[in-house]
Structure 1
Amino acid sequence: MNQIKPHIIFLMGVSGVGKSTIGSLLAETLNIPFFDGDDYHPEQNIQKMSQGKSLNDDDRFGWLQSLNQIAFEASQNKGCVMVCSALKESYREILSKNIEAYSKWIFLNGSFEQIKKRINNRSGHFMSSDLLQSQFDILEAPKYAINVDISLTPKKMVEVISKQLSEKSAFGLFGLGVMGKSLARNLASKGFDISLFNRHVDGQEEDVAKNFKDEFEELSTALAFDDVALFVNSLQKPRKVMLMVNAGKTVDGVIEDLLPFLENGDIIIDGGNSNFNDTKKRFDYLASKNIRFVGTGVSGGEEGALKGPSIMPGGDLEAYKEVQPYLETIAAKDANDLPCCTFIGTEGSGHFVKMVHNGIEYVEMQLLAEVFTILKAKGHNPDQIADILASWKATTNSYLLEITIDILRKKEGNDWLVNRIMDKAGNKGTGNWTTISSTQLGVPSTMITSALFARYTSFYKEERIEANRNFAPNNTPNLNFSAEELLEAYHFARLMNHYQGFKLIQEASLSNNWGLNLSELSRIWTNGCIIRSDFMMELVSIFKVSDNLLKNDEIIQRIKALKPSAQKVTSQCILNEVAAPNLIESISFLNSFSVANSSANLLQAQRDYFGAHTYQRNDDHTNKFYHTDWINN
């Protein structure tokens, strides 16, 4: 059975339900401290109630804050049982601030007549039964508390509470692949009661959850299941179930498996790499079932999921507030120790920005691969290339740069392991989706497309070998530029990549009315995620004053300074037939984007010629459209 962890247990209800009696008995049973909220009322509150006057919200505010501080300090130790009337939801929010995920609510419930009789039978208390009606008048019964009938004996009430506390988990993790397992361990190590589920497949996947639980000490109190009904029933209400399964039809299938056992207000979190269009559909579908949905991007890989990923939740804001304490606690922390997790926006916005994150990631990886290709062409071995890249960390460090250095230094026997890896790069679809979204929105995310197509090209290994025989030059490349100039070209290309990625996010936000915050998005990408970098940290402040990198004065000057090296490196790569499609695309994009009067006038004339698509004139500012009979004129 799952053991009760050192949480903060709040007993609430109107005066006279027996909160102090039950609370002290429960604390004794659990061997944790007990605090009676009434003992902490300021003198003015006690005097007011003794005079038969009801407390207002202003009277309660400071009192509730002081109780919250006591509870917070207790959460850092053994936890505690605290009794407090907490009649309104707003009061409960103050009481549990910063400890929401560790708070358990017990509602002692009884009738007015039953409680009035109890109050009249006690002596020496500052509150008379005359004030009881005022408490019932403002009582907002909690939706998701353990509801206990006060007609039971105190001993039985404590037994009921203890049983429900010990048997219900706060959070469910559905799917124990690599990421699911790491997130589960992350949650458990932060002190959360969790339930684990993995499917049962005879002869292939048997007792996965149980065996995983037994493997790690931090999971000793987790509950393990391969039965969906039992898994769902093990969760506290509103149930919070995070799916870590393959994107696509699998997610829809799991949702259908869960629905018969869920109730109104329960929450499903999709933590996989789902297509944001699918997330929008699921959001609407589940809303029709009164189930709340949070589509959540998670970046950081296996290590990030375990030690702290970057988390991008979107969908139902109220549902996010319910799961916020869990997601923010397990997320990576930025330079100011704030969680790299923030509510992105409605519908599928969380999965959209994760998709673009992956598109930017495609480019960052491809650029480093091209740098590797270029330095090999200049005669350097992997160790030497790693040393060169290590020297770049001082000015343009990133997670991907660091792991590339590690990769290049890894040897197997007398050779570098990278030399033995087949040059066929896979992909899981997010780069493809990003490219499709770019075309649908009409945004020139050319570098993401180029990086994606570089992976597609790599897959045609046999044809490439034949093309190499037919078209590769016989001469050795003569690349006449320094490592410093290559660094500047690399940095230039990264600027273009980040411009295009964030421009795509901005246009999607405008198109869908998401209201995305580019600075906040940059902030949660400063740690935990794959594209974290020193430059990403700069973008946090840059996007506070500008939403367009190519309009920022500092970035403009940087681009101007780096552009000559980008031109030199890419032109020599072309002349020496060294493949560098993303580096070349970076300068090509800026060259085409910075042309005030482009060749698109001829394109539009051609369209009008064969299709009567019309055109606008640059000497007519009325936005009128024209058509010309090109043959007869």
Structure 2
Amino acid sequence: MVIIVYGVTGCGKTTVGQLLAEKLNFPFYDGDNFHPTSNVEKMRKGIPLTDEDRIPWLNNLRIKIQSWDRNGGAVLACSALNEKYRKILKRGSNPIWVLLDGSRELIQERLDARVGHFMNPALLESQFATLEKPAYGYKVSIDSTPAEIVEQIHFLLKNMNELSSFGVIGMGVMGKSLALNLSNNDVPLSIYNRHVPNKEEKVAAKVLEQFPDQKNMLAFDDLPSFVTSLSTPRKILLMIPAGKAVDHQIEELIPLLSPGDIIIDGGNSFYKDTNRRVSYLEEKELLFVGTGVSGGEEGALKGPSIMPSGPKEAVDKVLSLFEKIAAKDKSGKPCTAYIGPEGSGHFIKMVHNSIEYAEMQALTEAYFLMRRHLGMDPKEIFEVFSTWQEGDTASYLLEITCDILNTYEDDELLLDKILDKAAQKGTGGWSVTTALEYGVPYGVLSEAVMARAISFKKDERSKASQVYGHKPKAISGDRSNFLESLKDAYQACRIINHEVGFSLMKAVSDEHNWNLNFSEIARIWTNGCIIRSSLMESAVAWFSTTDNLLMHPEVIDRMKLSHQKLAFVAGEGIKHGLALPVFSAAINYFLGAITAESPANLIQAQRDYFGAHTYERVDAPEGKHFHTVWKE
């Protein structure tokens, strides 16, 4: 390691540096000795150095520091007064910074007593004006003797390895759970939450109060102290709301960080924002990792699915930590992996969430068909879903649905007391707009988003129901045949949900040359995440041989048998007055996807008729366009 002892002239950096080098058995170098003659002459005359004077000197020192670092270490005494200069010296290495800090009065007194040094004491004021004290490194008072100062520095260096190796900002549900997961896996950790008077006060400290057994965790509500507590290169995970809050937090961190430090965004940020932040922080010589995290509160605490992306050199430095806390697949491999460059990790998390929307909606439609169309009571539906959970329809979402259908309050089903207005966050809408941008058919997953939007119009729906006298009709007779068809229809719908989501991933991956590995993505979604399921486990193998789910031989065999069940169930439900947006969109998507000749030729003719948009012909070479004057 290279230790840089710095501060204004007269602080004692040469004396302290020499004594420290002797104690550590390191060579000592004085930065002043590397100044060219022209700089020395200026300083003797009391003329402040300009950047034009300093930059060549600093670049020369930077090369020396890298050499000393490779050859076992050194102690360097150097002014390094502001961050701009320190950034030059830090390039390509991670020196340890020790600021010798003292009052103007004390340092002036020392300068007045100096003999034979070329620094004119009149320059002290300009040096104090230039000095920028960073949050990183160590700050040691010069009130003590040089020997005592060296002992203080030596103590700090000996205990340097006790710095936290990871930091988490944001102690909301997910941030707190991930922090506890890291701590439980023996990761020395610092946690921080912003301080807002009368609203958010000592939030991080309260986490330690709530979990007093956590011995690997330090709490801060002061950002500079939090950053200083981390070993370099610093690794800081942001678990804060997406959008402007992330940009604001980044701007607060930048002045406190050193080149090579890593900021990780673990929230649900839009992938284009992550693309922008990767480039922006690269200009600042910092690394940015966009990381999708799925699993909810329980997953974050016990093992989530983690999807990091960005500069591979940055992900490589944090992946081992993610592997410690991630869920494990059936073979025991962590459900995390390097996804790809830029914001690809946040992108696939966005798609994950849109598949999640559709999977949830498909389950509610199956539930609604049983309850309203078949007239089944909740206990009967619970029993049916429980049997589904034993086969290839098993999933985490089906598991929690069974729990919901088995939860009672005062002998009444709690579900029946919940208002039927479904909320949503940004990821569902982002997926829809991204699909439109890239021209990817996304109707099935879009309908899941729209179903939530229409559910929110509770008052309007209630009034319209009265006006139209609408009430779904129940069927009579044997329910067993319909239930058998319903199970096949539900599974067919789910296959289509996954095909639609992965097709968007393929289109965007191809456009950006991300080279996404769909089999590996499916693997890290087999545990920890919300859409984990038996179907996802099958998809790992399917995507190892194809990037089009509907063209895999095993899927073809399944869909040939089950798509007709999906059409029957969707038709019966709609005919009897039930809205089935995802079931009906799924069969429409599937039939459109396997139709060789569609009516789109009529659309092209219409477009050419009113707008002269031209069309291609089946009897002409591909790419050749025609226009017809349809009516004289």
Query: What amino acid sits opposite 1:239 in the alignment?
Result: R
Q: Which residue of 2 aligns with 1:416?
A: 413
Q: Which residue of 2 aligns with 1:404?
A: 401
Cα distance in 1 for residues equivalent to 2:354 and 2:471? 35
Cα distance in 1 for residues equivalent to 2:213 and 2:346? 30
Cα distance in 1 for residues equivalent to 2:94 and 2:380? 60
Q: Which residue of 2 aligns with 1:280?
A: 275
Is 1:524 the counterpart of 2:524? The answer is yes
Q: Which residue of 2 aligns with 1:183?
A: 178
Taking a change above 3 Å as real, the CA distance of residues 325 and 203 of structure 1, as seen in their structure-2 partners, is same
Is 1:356 the counterpart of 2:351? The answer is yes
The CA deviation string for residues 8-31 of structure 1, in whole angstroms up to 9 with x for no partner, is xxxxxxxxx999999xxxxxxxxx
The CA deviation string for residues 245-268 of structure 1, in whole angstroms up to 9 with x for no partner, is 000111111111111111211110
Cα root mean square deviation, aligned:
2.7
CA contact (8 A) 1:477 1:578 kept: no
CA contact (8 A) 2:616 2:622 kept: no
Cα distance in 1 for residues equivalent to 2:332 and 2:22? 41
How far apart are residue 324 of structure 1 and its match?
1.1
How far apart are residue 557 of structure 1 and its match?
0.6
Query: What amino acid sits opposite 1:368 in the alignment?
Result: L
CA contact (8 A) 1:409 1:416 kept: yes
Q: Which residue of 1 aligns with 2:73?
A: 109
Is 1:251 the counterpart of 2:246? The answer is yes
Cα distance in 2 for residues equivalent to 1:157 and 1:188? 29
Q: Which residue of 1 aligns with 2:325?
A: 330
Is 1:433 the counterpart of 2:435? The answer is no
Cα distance in 2 for residues equivalent to 1:565 and 1:288? 56
Q: Which residue of 2 aligns with 1:568?
A: 568
Is 1:225 the counterpart of 2:189? The answer is no
Taking a change above 3 Å as real, the CA distance of residues 107 and 18 of structure 1, as seen in their structure-2 partners, is farther
Taking a change above 3 Å as real, the CA distance of residues 107 and 467 of structure 1, as seen in their structure-2 partners, is farther
Q: Which runs of 5+ in 1 are unaligned?
A: 1-16, 23-88, 90-104, 112-140
Q: Which residue of 2 aligns with 1:590?
A: 590
Q: Which residue of 1 aligns with 2:46?
A: none
Three-state SS of the structure 1 residue aligned to 2:363 is helix
Q: 1:241 aligns with which of 212, 236, 239?
A: 236
CA contact (8 A) 1:188 1:218 kept: no
Three-state SS of the structure 1 residue aligned to 2:561 is helix
Cα distance in 2 for residues equivalent to 1:291 and 1:578? 54
CA contact (8 A) 1:19 1:108 kept: no
Three-state SS of the structure 1 residue aligned to 2:289 is strand
Q: Name the TM-score, length of structure 2 as normaliser.
A: 0.76
How far apart are residue 510 of structure 1 and its match?
0.3
How far apart are residue 381 of structure 1 and its match?
1.7
Three-state SS of the structure 1 residue aligned to 2:584 is helix
Query: What amino acid sits opposite 1:391 in the alignment?
Result: T
Taking a change above 3 Å as real, the CA distance of residues 618 and 462 of structure 1, as seen in their structure-2 partners, is same
The CA deviation string for residues 119-174 of structure 1, in whole angstroms up to 9 with x for no partner, is xxxxxxxxxxxxxxxxxxxxxx99448699xxx999888634332223x2111100
Q: Which residue of 2 aligns with 1:460?
A: 457
How far apart are residue 468 of structure 1 and its match?
1.0
Q: 1:388 aligns with which of 384, 391, 403?
A: 384
Cα distance in 2 for residues equivalent to 1:164 and 1:432? 47
Three-state SS of the structure 1 residue aligned to 2:191 is strand
How far apart are residue 110 of structure 1 and its match?
4.3
Matches within 5 A, 1:462-481: 462-473=459-470, 476-478=473-475, 481=481
Matches within 5 A, 1:156-195: 159-166=155-162, 168-195=163-190
CA contact (8 A) 1:106 1:145 kept: no
How far apart are residue 219 of structure 1 and its match?
2.7
Q: Which runs of 5+ in 2 are unaligned?
A: 1-20, 27-65, 76-90, 99-146
Query: What amino acid sits opposite 1:612 in the alignment?
Result: A
How far apart are residue 394 of structure 1 and its match?
2.1
Q: Which residue of 1 aligns with 2:108?
A: none
Cα distance in 2 for residues equivalent to 1:263 and 1:546? 44
How far apart are residue 477 of structure 1 and its match?
2.3
Cα distance in 2 for residues equivalent to 1:515 and 1:537? 21
CA contact (8 A) 2:307 2:337 kept: yes
How far apart are residue 379 of structure 1 and its match?
1.4
Is 1:551 the counterpart of 2:576? The answer is no
Point out the structure with max Rg over C-alpha.
2
Which segment is superposed worse, 553-562 or 220-229?
220-229
Matches within 5 A, 1:16-35: none
CA contact (8 A) 1:300 1:310 kept: yes
How far apart are residue 474 of structure 1 and its match?
5.5
CA contact (8 A) 1:214 1:220 kept: no
Three-state SS of the structure 2 residue aligned to 1:241 is strand
The CA deviation string for residues 349-389 of structure 1, in whole angstroms up to 9 with x for no partner, is 00000000000000000011111111111111222111110
Q: Which residue of 2 aligns with 1:48?
A: none
Q: Which residue of 2 aligns with 1:605?
A: 605
Cα distance in 1 for residues equivalent to 2:345 and 2:563? 34
How far apart are residue 455 of structure 1 and its match?
0.2
Taking a change above 3 Å as real, the CA distance of residues 562 and 107 of structure 1, as seen in their structure-2 partners, is farther
Q: Which residue of 2 aligns with 1:201?
A: 196
Cα distance in 2 for residues equivalent to 1:473 and 1:225? 57
Three-state SS of the structure 2 residue aligned to 1:394 is coil
CA contact (8 A) 2:181 2:301 kept: yes
Taking a change above 3 Å as real, the CA distance of residues 212 and 474 of structure 1, as seen in their structure-2 partners, is closer
Three-state SS of the structure 1 residue aligned to 2:507 is helix
Q: Which residue of 2 aligns with 1:512?
A: 512
Query: What amino acid sits opposite 2:383 in the alignment?
Result: D
Q: 1:210 aligns with which of 199, 205, 209?
A: 205
Q: 2:361 aligns with which of 358, 366, 391?
A: 366
Q: Which residue of 2 aligns with 1:78?
A: none
Q: Which residue of 1 aligns with 2:631?
A: 631
How far apart are residue 411 of structure 1 and its match?
0.4
How far apart are residue 109 of structure 1 and its match?
2.0
Q: Which residue of 1 aligns with 2:488?
A: 488
Taking a change above 3 Å as real, the CA distance of residues 598 and 583 of structure 1, as seen in their structure-2 partners, is same
Three-state SS of the structure 2 residue aligned to 1:519 is helix
Taking a change above 3 Å as real, the CA distance of residues 270 and 418 of structure 1, as seen in their structure-2 partners, is same
How far apart are residue 572 of structure 1 and its match?
0.7
Query: What amino acid sits opposite 2:447 in the alignment?
Result: S
Three-state SS of the structure 1 residue aligned to 2:577 is coil
Cα distance in 1 for residues equivalent to 2:284 and 2:465? 57
The CA deviation string for residues 598-631 of structure 1, in whole angstroms up to 9 with x for no partner, is 1111111111111111111011124211111112
Cα distance in 1 for residues equivalent to 2:327 and 2:273? 27
Cα distance in 2 for residues equivalent to 1:218 and 1:593? 56
Q: Name the TM-score, length of structure 1 as normaliser.
A: 0.76
Taking a change above 3 Å as real, the CA distance of residues 157 and 258 of structure 1, as seen in their structure-2 partners, is closer
Q: Which residue of 2 aligns with 1:340?
A: 335
Q: Which residue of 2 aligns with 1:37?
A: none
Q: Which residue of 2 aligns with 1:262?
A: 257
Query: What amino acid sits opposite 1:627 in the alignment?
Result: H
How far apart are residue 472 of structure 1 and its match?
4.2
Is 1:314 the counterpart of 2:292? The answer is no
Query: What amino acid sits opposite 1:518 in the alignment?
Result: F
Matches within 5 A, 1:135-150: 143-144=93-94
Query: What amino acid sits opposite 2:157 in the alignment?
Result: I
The CA deviation string for residues 581-609 of structure 1, in whole angstroms up to 9 with x for no partner, is 11111111111222111111111111111
CA contact (8 A) 1:189 1:218 kept: no
The CA deviation string for residues 304-324 of structure 1, in whole angstroms up to 9 with x for no partner, is 000000000111110111111
Cα distance in 2 for residues equivalent to 1:495 and 1:196? 41
Matches within 5 A, 1:41-120: 109-110=73-74
